[in-house]
Amino acid sequence: MWTRETAFQFLEPLEKFLANNGYHCALGGSVMYGGTSDKDLDVIVYPHNRDNSILVDVLWERLRGFLSPLESFKSKGSSRDSKDVRVFYVDCGRIDFFFLK
């Protein structure tokens, strides 16, 4: 189960990592609006500067490397609309990453 507290504990180091790679993150979904979620944590990832950012595929590989020491994972992705959605699983639950283009 995700709570705002566990989400913020996760997002603080994630934001530092993403900022070093030209991106930032924001919390969305049930945890943001309701305080908890049994299903997933929605993390919105957006480039600091679209004209000067690395490709999402490159960021995703770096992100998997950053997260893999934390917990075991499986990932899958899909692309729809103007976002790229990728899923990461940790012991706390599922994380949906929404990469804005």
- pLDDT digits over 9-64, tens only? 999 999 999 999 999 999 999 999 999 999 999 999 999 987 778 888 999 999 98
CA distance 73 to 31: 21
Regarding pTM above 0.85, the answer is: no
Residue 79 has pLDDT above 80, yes or no: no
CA distance 62 to 39: 25
CA distance 25 to 50: 14
If phi > 0 it is left, if psi is from -120 to 50 it is alpha, else beta; for residue 79 that is beta
CA distance 18 to 34: 25
Question: Under CATH, to which class is 2-100 assigned?
Answer: alpha beta
